[in-house]
Structure 1
Amino acid sequence: MRAAPPPLAGGTPGPDALRPLLDTVLDALRTGAEERGGPLPAGGPETVAHRLRHALGEALPHHGTDPHEALHTLVRTLAAGAADPAHPLCAAHLHTPPLALAAAADLAASALNPSMDSWDQAPAASALEAQVTAALAAEIHPRADRPDALVTTGGTESNQLALLLARERHGPALRTVVGANAHHSFHRAAWLLGLPEPVVVPTPHGTIDPADLHEALTTLTGPMLVAATAGTTDEGLIDPLPALADTCEAHHADLHVDAAYGGPVLFSPTHRHLLDGLDRARTVTVDLHKLGWQPAAAGLLVVRDTADLTALGHTADYLNADDDTDAGLPDLLGRSLRTTRRPDVLKTAVTLRALGRTGLGALVDACMDRAQDLADLMEKRPGLDLRARPTLTTVLFRPTDATDETVAAIRRTLLTEGRAVLGRAHADGRLWLKATLLNPHATPGDLAQLITLVEGSTHR
Structure 2
Amino acid sequence: MTLLPQTEERADFGSRIELALGASNQLFNTRNSPRYVADVLQAVNLVATKVSRVDRPFTGIAPAQLAPVVEAVDLEAPLADTAAALEELEALYLRDAVYFHDSKYAAHLNCPVVIPALVGEAVLAAVNSSLDTWDQSAGATLMERRLIDWTAGRLALGPAADGVFTSGGTQSNLQALLIARNHAVSRLRQDPALASERLPGLLDRLRIFASEASHFSIEKSASLLGLGYDGVIQVGCDAHQRMDPAALKEALAASRARGEVPLAIVATAGTTDFGSIDPLAALSTLAEEFGAWLHVDAAYGGGLLTSLRHRHLLDGIGAADSVTVDYHKTFFQPVSSSAILVRDGAMLGHVAYYADYLNPQSAAGAASLNQVDKSIQTTRRFDALKLWLTLRIMGPDGIGALLDESIDLARQTGELLAHDPDFELAAPAQLSTLVFRYLPQAPEGLDGETADALNLHIRQAIFASGKAVIAGTKVDGRHYLKFTLLNAETTLEDLQEILTLVRSIGAGYLAGVRA
Shorter chain as normaliser: what TM range?
over 0.9
Displacement of 1:323: 5.0
Q: 1 CA distance for matches of 2:469 and 2:370?
A: 44
Contact map agreement 2:145 2:164 (CA 8 A) in 1: no
Deviating more after overlay: 29-38 vs 254-263: 29-38
Instruction: Tell me, yes or no, if structure 1 residue 153 matches structure 2 residue 167.
Output: yes
> For residue 9 of structure 2, what is the aligned residue in structure 1?
none
Bigger Rg, structure 1 or 2: 2
Q: Secondary structure at the match of 1:130?
A: helix
Displacement of 1:5: 3.2
With over 3 angstroms needed to count, the CA separation of the structure-2 counterparts of 1:214 and 1:324, relative to structure 1, is closer
Instruction: Tell me, yes or no, if structure 1 residue 218 matches structure 2 residue 253.
Output: yes
Contact map agreement 2:349 2:374 (CA 8 A) in 1: no
Gap regions ≥5 residues in structure 1: none
> For residue 478 of structure 2, what is the aligned residue in structure 1?
430
Letter in 1 for 2:288: E
Q: Secondary structure at the match of 1:175?
A: strand
Displacement of 1:18: 2.3
The match for 1:22 among 7, 15, 40 is: 40
Contact map agreement 1:44 1:417 (CA 8 A) in 2: no
Q: Secondary structure at the match of 1:26?
A: helix
Displacement of 1:328: 6.2
Displacement of 1:189: 0.8
Letter in 1 for 2:175: L
Residue deviations 1:403-434, cap 9 Å, x none? Answer: 01100000000111111111112224432110
Q: 2 CA distance for matches of 1:27 and 1:421?
A: 26
With over 3 angstroms needed to count, the CA separation of the structure-2 counterparts of 1:65 and 1:323, relative to structure 1, is same
Deviating more after overlay: 381-390 vs 418-427: 381-390
TM-score, normalised to structure 2, is: 0.83
The match for 1:378 among 396, 417, 424 is: 417
Letter in 1 for 2:225: L
Contact map agreement 2:436 2:482 (CA 8 A) in 1: yes
Contact map agreement 2:178 2:351 (CA 8 A) in 1: no
Instruction: Tell me, yes or no, if structure 1 residue 242 matches structure 2 residue 281.
Output: yes
Q: 1 CA distance for matches of 2:472 and 2:391?
A: 33
> For residue 129 of structure 1, what is the aligned residue in structure 2?
144
Deviating more after overlay: 432-441 vs 32-41: 32-41
With over 3 angstroms needed to count, the CA separation of the structure-2 counterparts of 1:379 and 1:170, relative to structure 1, is closer
1:3-402 matches, within 5 Å, as 3-7=21-25, 10-13=28-31, 15-30=33-48, 32-33=50-51, 37-53=55-71, 57-58=73-74, 60-75=75-90, 77-142=92-157, 144-171=158-185, 172=203, 173-196=205-228, 197-203=231-237, 205=239, 206-221=241-256, 222-323=261-362, 330-401=369-440
Q: Secondary structure at the match of 1:226?
A: strand
With over 3 angstroms needed to count, the CA separation of the structure-2 counterparts of 1:13 and 1:141, relative to structure 1, is farther
1:420-459 matches, within 5 Å, as 420-459=468-507
Q: Secondary structure at the match of 1:189?
A: helix
Contact map agreement 1:109 1:343 (CA 8 A) in 2: yes
Letter in 2 for 1:357: P
Displacement of 1:10: 4.6
With over 3 angstroms needed to count, the CA separation of the structure-2 counterparts of 1:253 and 1:201, relative to structure 1, is same
Residue deviations 1:14-53, cap 9 Å, x none? Answer: 5422222123213432565578642112232222324444
With over 3 angstroms needed to count, the CA separation of the structure-2 counterparts of 1:226 and 1:48, relative to structure 1, is same
Displacement of 1:123: 0.8
With over 3 angstroms needed to count, the CA separation of the structure-2 counterparts of 1:212 and 1:305, relative to structure 1, is same
Gap regions ≥5 residues in structure 2: 1-13, 186-202, 441-445, 509-515
Residue deviations 1:76-113, cap 9 Å, x none? Answer: 53111111111111111011111122122111100000
Displacement of 1:444: 2.1
With over 3 angstroms needed to count, the CA separation of the structure-2 counterparts of 1:294 and 1:245, relative to structure 1, is same
Aligned CA-pair RMSD: 2.2
Letter in 2 for 1:22: V
Q: Secondary structure at the match of 2:328?
A: coil
Contact map agreement 2:165 2:384 (CA 8 A) in 1: yes
Letter in 1 for 2:162: D
Contact map agreement 1:159 1:186 (CA 8 A) in 2: yes
TM-score, normalised to structure 1, is: 0.93
Q: Secondary structure at the match of 1:320?
A: coil
Deviating more after overlay: 337-346 vs 191-200: 191-200
Contact map agreement 1:178 1:228 (CA 8 A) in 2: yes
Contact map agreement 2:326 2:338 (CA 8 A) in 1: yes
Displacement of 1:6: 4.4
Letter in 2 for 1:436: T
Q: Secondary structure at the match of 1:248?
A: helix
Deviating more after overlay: 396-405 vs 86-95: 396-405
Residue deviations 1:318-350, cap 9 Å, x none? Answer: 111345558966222212111111111110111
